[in-house]
Amino acid sequence: MNSQKTSEHALHRAPTVRPGNLREYERSLDGEGLAIGVVMSRFSQDIGEGLLSACTSELKRLGVAESRIALATVPGALEIPLALQSMARSGRFDALIALGAVIRGETYHFEVVANDSCRGVMDVQLAVGVPVANGILTCEDDDQALARMHQKGSDCARVAVEMARLLQAFGEHS
């Protein structure tokens, strides 16, 4: 590993000791050896594909091997939590990522889908103990989603790697 990558992706060795013996776990974005599961909604497919492209590019940049990234697609945002839950329970993944888009329409359905898909994603990670980066965009229109998809996809990759490493560090130093 070169020195730039080493500093950027510092491994969790031991918590830093701060004044007053406060222990701080250092952030790590080293994806080497991690297995990441991604669930993507096929509804608003162009936006989902943009999220996925940015996400997988960033995962690879962080050192996650392409062969260690698994993708499952589902019909819509409401189906994402069940697929995540199954992946989380399999024990094969260090972290998961939810990708999709909920675009406001003319009815209350937007609020139902946005709220319930988000709650479902949160419930999975809390119930199973596998971190889930939530990349389900909730936007007023397609233009907002298109403007946000690349940044959000990249952000989710970093969140997944960082949280996987943080949970590993908790196990190593408990």
Q: What is the pLDDT of residue 18?
A: 66
pLDDT for position 105: 87
pLDDT of residue 172: 73
Write down the pTM of the prediction. Answer: 0.88
pLDDT (tens digit, 9 = 90+) per residue, 87-105? 999 999 999 999 999 999 8
Residue 77 CA to residue 54 CA, distance in Å, equals: 19
Out of 9, 12, 109, 150, the active site residue is 109
DSSP, collapsed to helix, strand or coil, labels residue 91 as: coil
Dist. CA 56–CA 135, nearest whole Å: 13
CB 31 within 8 A of CB 59: yes
pLDDT for residue 23: 82
- Looking at residue 62, the DSSP 8-state letter turns out to be T
From CA 57, how far away is CA 6, in angstroms rounded? Answer: 19
**pLDDT for res 108:** 86
The string of pLDDT tens digits covering residues 104-141 is 988 889 999 999 999 999 999 999 999 999 999 999 99
Task: Provide the 3-class DSSP secondary structure of residue 33.
Answer: coil
Tell me the residue length of the chain: 174
Q: What is the pLDDT of residues 13-69, one digit of tens each?
A: 555 556 777 888 999 999 999 999 999 999 999 999 999 999 999 999 999 999 999
Which tens digit of pLDDT belongs to each residue from 143-160?
Answer: 999 999 999 999 999 999
Judge whether 122 and 61 are in contact, CB under 8 Å: no
* Residue 150 annotated in active site: no
Q: Which tokens go with 122? A: 């949160």
pLDDT digits (tens, 9 = 90+) for 75-89: 999 999 999 999 999
**Closest listed residue to residue 53, CA positions, set 170, 157, 129:** 157
Residue keyed to tokens 């889930």: 132
